[in-house]
Amino acid sequence: MKGIVIILFLTSVLVDARGPEIFGYFEPQYNGIYQFRRYYHFQSNKLRIDLKNNTTEYLDFGADVIFLLYFGEKNWNLLNFIPGRISAQVPPEMRLFYNFSYTDTLFLDNIYARISNTHFAVTVGKQQLSVGAGYFSNPTDIYNRKNVFDPTYEQTGHNGIRGDISLSRRCNLMMVLSPLDINFEESGKFVRIKSGIGRFDLSLVGGDIPMILTDYYHFLQTRQRRIIIGGDIVGEVLGFGVWAEAAYNRLESSSNFYESIVGFDYTFNSGLYFLLEYHRNSSGKTDYRAYDLNDWMRFFSGENKTLAQDQVYGYFQYPLNDLFNVGGSVIVVVSDRSGAFIPTFNYNILENVDFTFMFNLYIGEEGKAYGSNLGPGFLLRGRIYF
C-alpha cells in the first residue's frame, strides 16, 4: 500500500503532458557464506523504479524508489564475524545488542528537481553526491563509503541543495549544503573546485560536516564536527592512467586523521585491463592485535573505512568474448598480512540482462582484517533492466 502511495505521489509530481519516462531494473541476488562448518544463505529481490521528466529545457525532475525483499538467513549476530578473543569479552546479556536483521524495505532512494542551463545547475532534494578519483575508496567523499568488494555498486542518495557553476570550459565549482540539522551552523557544507591543467584534471575540496561516532561497548553515540580539506588529481603518465586523492580530517573531539590513495591503470591491446591502488588511512591501526570491539563494529557500520592503516587494492578484467568478462579484485592489508580475493564473472546474456558471479575468499589468520573466520562466500546477481 505504502508503495502504491509513493508511486502515485511520484507520478503526480512528475507527470506533465508528455508524461514521465519510467525505467529501472529488477535485481534478484543470492548470497552464500560458509562459516564455522555451517552454510548460511540469503537472497534479496530488489526492484528499482526510476521516473524522470524534463518539464522544460531548463527544469527536470528525477526520482527512484527501491523495493527490497529479503529471504533466507535474515538475522545475523555481528559478534560471529569478530575474533573470538574480542567477542568473548561481551557479556552474554549484551550479545543481543549486536544482532543485525535485514528487513524488507521500501524507500525513496533519490528525488530531486534540477534547474540548469549550460553555465549553472541547482539541484534540490535527495540526490547522488559523490566525488573523488579513487576506485576502491575516496578520501574526499564525505557522503559515501564504498564497498571494497563491489566498489562501483550504486550508492543511496543524500539530502541536499547542490549548486554547480561552470567557470570555464574545464573549470567547475560545486557547492553542497546538506541540511542535517535545524540550524545552518550544524548542517553540512561542502565545496569543490575542479579544473583541467593540460592532460590532468585537478580538484580541491573543503567541507564541514557533522560526524557520528558510536561507542559499541556502551552503545552511546557522540556527534562532532568534521572539517575536511583535500583534493585529487587524475591524468596520464607514460601511457598509464594515474590518479591520487588525499584528505586531512580535523575532528572536534577525536584524533585528527588523514587518508590518501594513489593508483594507476592500463589496458593492453588484448583488452586486459588492470588497476592498482595504495590506500593509507591514518585512523587505522598498524598492529592487528590492537583492533578492538569499536574498531570492528565501526568498520562494519561504515563509521571507519578500514581497520588497518595501509591497504593495497588490485583489480583486473579480461573480455573472454564480447559478452563475457572475467576478472577479480585483490585486497591486501599490508600491516597484518591478510587479504581477500574476489574472482568475478560477468555475462551479458541478453540485451538488457546481466549476470554477475562473485566469490570472496579470505586469506589470513583469525583476528586479522580479512581473517579466514569471516567465512568464504559467493554472490550470484542478475539484473534485468526495463
Partner 1 sequence: MKEIIICAGLFIFSGLLYGNEQKALTAEEIIKEMSVRLNPQTSKAKVKMTIMTTTQKKRIFIYKLFSKDHGEKSLLKYISPSRIKGQTILMLNDARDIWVYFPRTKRIRKLASHARRQKLKGSDFSYEDLGASNAFVDEYNAVRKDDEKKEGRQCYKLELTRKVKSSAGYSRLMLWVDKEYLIPLVIDYYQDENPGILEKELILSNIKLIDGIYTPMKFVMYNKLDNTKTVMEFTEVSYNLKISDDLFTELGMQK
Q: Which residues in this chain contact partner 1 in the complex, by CB under 8 A?
A: 23, 25, 116, 118-121, 127-130, 133, 152, 154-155, 164, 166, 169-170, 172, 194, 199, 201, 234-236, 239-242, 265-267, 269, 271, 319, 321-323, 348, 351-352, 354, 385-386
Q: Output 33 or 131, the one with its CB closest to partner 1.
A: 131
Closest distance to partner 1 from the beta carbon of 29 (Å)? 17
Q: Output 98 or 136, the one with its CB closest to partner 1.
A: 136
Q: Output 376 or 382, the one with its CB closest to partner 1.
A: 382
Residue with cell 579544473: 195
Q: Output 162 or 285, the one with its CB closest to partner 1.
A: 162
Q: Output 204 or 227, the one with its CB closest to partner 1.
A: 204
Closest distance to partner 1 from the beta carbon of 165 (Å)? 9
What region does 121 belong to: left with phi over 0, alpha with psi -120 to 50, or beta?
A: beta
Residue 276, C-beta contacts closer than 8 angstroms, at least 6 positions apart? 263, 264, 265, 312, 313, 314, 315
Closest distance to partner 1 from the beta carbon of 386 (Å)? 6
Contact at 8 Å (CB) between 129 and 155? no
Q: Output 324 or 378, the one with its CB closest to partner 1.
A: 324
Q: Output 235 or 343, the one with its CB closest to partner 1.
A: 235
Tell me the torsion sign for CA atoms 386, 57, 130, 5. negative
Closest distance to partner 1 from the beta carbon of 384 (Å)? 9
Closest distance to partner 1 from the beta carbon of 108 (Å)? 15
Residue 5, C-beta contacts closer than 8 angstroms, at least 6 positions apart? none
H/E element holding 297? helix 293-301
Closest distance to partner 1 from the beta carbon of 246 (Å)? 18
Joined together, the cell numbers standing for residue 98 give 549486536
Q: Output 128 or 301, the one with its CB closest to partner 1.
A: 128
Q: Output 23 or 219, the one with its CB closest to partner 1.
A: 23
Closest distance to partner 1 from the beta carbon of 53 (Å)? 14
Closest distance to partner 1 from the beta carbon of 321 (Å)? 5
Residue 24: alpha-carbon gap to chain centroid = 20
> For 30-112, where are the alpha helices, taking DSSP H only?
84-87
Of 356, 345, 352, which Cα lies nearest the Cα of 24?
Answer: 352
Pairing of strands 171-178, 188-197: antiparallel
Q: Output 164 or 295, the one with its CB closest to partner 1.
A: 164
Residue 152, C-beta contacts closer than 8 angstroms, at least 6 positions apart? none
Q: Which long-range contacts (CB under 8 A, 24 or more apart) does 38-44 make?
A: 40/72, 40/73, 41/72, 41/73, 42/70, 42/71, 42/72, 42/73, 42/74, 42/102, 43/70, 43/71, 43/72, 44/68, 44/69, 44/70, 44/71, 44/102
Closest distance to partner 1 from the beta carbon of 341 (Å)? 25
Closest distance to partner 1 from the beta carbon of 122 (Å)? 12
First to last CA, the chain: 23
